[in-house]
Amino acid sequence: MSFWKKEKETPPPVSEAAADAQEVGSAADVDEVMKKFDRESNVRIWEGTPKWIIKFIMIAFSLFCMYLTLIHTGQAEFRLCTFLGGIVIIGYLSFPIKKGNVKVNSLPWYDIIIMIAGCIPFFYFAFNVEKIAMTDYTVVSNDPMLLTFAVIGILAMVELCRRSVGLPILCVAGALIIYTLAPFGAHVRPGKALFDLFYTTNGVIGTPISACQKFIVMFIIFGAFLERTGISNFFISLANCAAGSSSGGPAKVAVISSALCGMVSGSSVGNTVTTGSVTIPMMKKTGYKGEFAGAVEAAASTGGQIMPPIMGAAAFIMAETTGLPYQKIVVLAILPAFLYFAGIFIAVHLEAKKLGLKGIPKSELPKFKELAPKLYLLLPLIILVWLVSTGKNTMAYSAAIAIIISIIVGVINIFVNKACGFQDTSDNISFMKVLDALEAGAKGTISVAAACSMAGIVAGCVTSTGLASDLLRAILSVSGGVKIVALLLTMVCCIVLGMGVPTTANYCIMAATCAPILMSEQIGIPMVCAHFFVFYFGIVADITPPVALAAYAGSAIAKSPPMKTAFNATKLAIAAFVVPYIFALNPAMLFQFAEGTSMAMKVVQSVLIVITSLAGLYGIAAALNGYLYRPMNPLFRLLIAAGGLCMMIPGNLTDVIGVVVVVGVVVLQRMSAKKSAAA
């Protein structure tokens, strides 16, 4: 069966889907849905002169972050505290006290007080860092002013996190703080706890905020610049050129373009809205139901979080946490990301065959020769990958160079559009677009930084109380030291926590709590595999009901029921639920081999695991879809699902059983379909 060949005879699209083909949500519909479910979408409204004042404050913050990252060489505490002080200011200028409590050009008096009081402790710490660093914690814990500053600073970040992220992560952080202080818990003295959480790098200004300030901000700004060069539309055109004419082509275009755009945005919701506004109407017009079209875009866009080279923001923190070079993290992520998108691609192909959907007529698709003159749009991304992979430059420096290249590419765009006579000049760079990109970079940093600060508190509490060892004993007692049971328990923790926590913060928390448990001698999962495992299951929360923000964004565009869209997205992204178990049980997928393994055997093992995993995903996707050449009966669906799972379990015996079962069902279905066609 070819994924690309366009069949000569295909039944017409189903009428039920075609009936609502033109019903597509507008930008206002998307805003309404996201304001209902997504904290980051509930921001203050500024107009006129106040809007320009806020804009320039945001731009100044982005430029200050670039200065801290690229030029400043002082103490880390100074950088981190001034960064968080700035976050408090722009955060309270952006987020109101509650959803819907938004008036044009309104900043209530109590928010002004919280904003000023909240930033003072961080700036005081920053400009007195040497004095405080030289002071023993017993002195600080007995200083009323320093303790008051610590309380105010932490509470200001807690409130900002509530406004911009939500309550779930605060519940986790609050529970751990109670455990740290309470007599029935670790019973750490309040003065010592405040000192650790505010005045050391084991709390608010811990590893998550350090990675945020050093790397994440630069890549958020880079993504904002890159989007303004028109690269998203270029990726969609490339995907149309490659797969648009195949059966159910628009859905395949959505998968490919979302994978490519995901490298830039690193945001599942942002990716869904950006590419979905183009691909979802195309899918509905072809004949896909609204809930399926929205689900395809949501599932594919969520993969942007695991798509090298940027991988959202968690990849940078993973590099900091594990001590592995960032470029190595990117290489290790290649095979799992490929399998994730391959699983979605297979699922949409089977759905297209099931519904008898056609592709887009070739006459309506862009030709590669028309796109070739704009291949230079890829230059910033290519240079970024090259700079990062060489390891000679810091990631922040690489991102800064890529930002400069993206501006140069934008200028080139102006001349190319004129020379080639292109009518669409929306991707031309301008001074206002540069300002917009800097503003977007600052805005995009607020929720990430707020979540990272809470993740730092969680990690600090776990470290100071020794909670990780208690969790290890609890999971070992439940799992009995059995790997698969421990992995299942960890998966549940990641998904439940991730339903209300951003990917970055989710990974930070799970890396501090569950990853060490998986890495323990009793469980025995390699370090890299353990960290990737918790990373993956934190991500799928964006499409897992009941809190599935990417699916809600897709449903808003597709005009479909949010829950139906979320369940469809979960089904499509089945690879994200299966692949982590593969590399946890068979580390060869992440290029982790036993000592002494020859290069030839490493290549063989890697190739075999990809082939068997792809075949297994094919079997599982067919079982979930219920179609393979023709509708499958329940027995065949169970058999091919079991065969697919067998091929994902390490071992020659399970691979052989899986191959026999899957191939057997495929052959029987093919023969049955031919008989039905001949009858």
Res 439 pLDDT > 60: yes
**Mean per-residue pLDDT, 481-506:** 78
Statement to judge: residues 150 and 218 lie in one domain: no
Q: What letter would DSSP give residue 630?
A: E
Res 1 pLDDT > 60: no
In a domain, 245, yes or no: yes
Statement to judge: residues 293 and 223 lie in one domain: yes
CB 294 within 8 A of CB 565: yes
Tokens of 201: 């790098």
In a domain, 450, yes or no: no
What does the pLDDT read at residue 32?
A: 65
The pLDDT tens digits of the residues spanning 42-63 come to: 788 899 999 999 999 999 999 9
Choosing from 442, 458, 475, the residue where a domain stops is: 442
Domain that holds residue 598: 593-679
Statement to judge: residues 84 and 142 lie in one domain: yes
What does the pLDDT read at residue 8?
A: 41
Res 26 pLDDT > 70: no
Tokens of 653: 């015996």
Residue 175 identity (one-letter amino acid):
A
Q: Is 421 exposed, middle or buried (0-12, 13-18, 19+ CB in 10 A)?
A: exposed
- Of all residues in the chain, the percent with pLDDT exceeding 70 is 90
**Mean per-residue pLDDT, 63-73:** 88
Statement to judge: residues 399 and 422 lie in one domain: yes
What does the pLDDT read at residue 12?
A: 42
| Number of domains present in the structure of the chain | 3
User: How many CB atoms are closer than 10 A to CB 277?
Assistant: 17
In a domain, 537, yes or no: no
| 651 Cβ contact list (under 8 Å, min separation 6) | none
Confidence label for 35 from pLDDT (cuts 50, 70 and 90): low
| 445 Cβ contact list (under 8 Å, min separation 6) | 61, 65, 87, 212, 216, 217, 220
Q: What is the C-alpha to C-alpha distance for residues 285 and 267, in angstroms, rounded to an integer?
A: 26
Judged by DSSP in three states, 333 sits in coil
Statement to judge: residues 293 and 195 lie in one domain: no
Res 157 pLDDT > 70: yes
Tokens of 55: 């804009």
In a domain, 3, yes or no: no
Statement to judge: residues 371 and 225 lie in one domain: yes
Of the two residues 469 and 461, the one the predictor is more confident about is 461
The pLDDT tens digits of the residues spanning 393-402 come to: 777 788 888 8
Confidence label for 313 from pLDDT (cuts 50, 70 and 90): low
Statement to judge: residues 260 and 306 lie in one domain: yes
In a domain, 298, yes or no: yes
| 412 Cβ contact list (under 8 Å, min separation 6) | 376
In a domain, 306, yes or no: yes
Statement to judge: residues 176 and 217 lie in one domain: no
Tokens of 562: 């949010």
What does the pLDDT read at residue 236?
A: 81
Statement to judge: residues 180 and 269 lie in one domain: no
What does the pLDDT read at residue 78?
A: 93
Choosing from 424, 442, 460, the residue where a domain stops is: 442
Statement to judge: residues 601 and 674 lie in one domain: yes
Residue 592 identity (one-letter amino acid):
Q
Q: What is the C-alpha to C-alpha distance for residues 635 and 632, in angstroms, rounded to an integer?
A: 8
Judged by DSSP in three states, 628 sits in strand
- Of all residues in the chain, the percent with pLDDT exceeding 90 is 17
Of the two residues 37 and 231, the one the predictor is more confident about is 231
Res 18 pLDDT > 60: no
Residue recorded with tokens 């982790």: 592
- Distance separating the N- and C-terminal Cα atoms of the chain: 22
CB 352 within 8 A of CB 4: no
CB 572 within 8 A of CB 618: no
User: How many CB atoms are closer than 10 A to CB 610?
Assistant: 17
Closest CA to 407 of 216, 217, 221: 221
* Backbone dihedral region for residue 248 (phi beyond 0: left; psi -120 to 50: alpha; all else: beta): left
Statement to judge: residues 56 and 109 lie in one domain: yes
Q: What letter would DSSP give residue 215?
A: I
Tokens of 281: 């109407």
What does the pLDDT read at residue 110?
A: 93
User: Which range scores top for mean pLDDT: 100-114, 416-430, 471-485?
Assistant: 100-114
Lowest mean pLDDT: which of 102-106, 199-203, 432-436? 102-106
Closest CA to 107 of 123, 121, 90: 90
Checking DSSP bridges between strand 630-631 and strand 627-628, what pairing results, if any? Answer: antiparallel
Residue 341 identity (one-letter amino acid):
F
In a domain, 496, yes or no: no
Statement to judge: residues 268 and 404 lie in one domain: yes
**Mean per-residue pLDDT, 246-258:** 83
Choosing from 189, 206, 223, the residue where a domain stops is: 206
In a domain, 233, yes or no: yes
CB 284 within 8 A of CB 293: yes
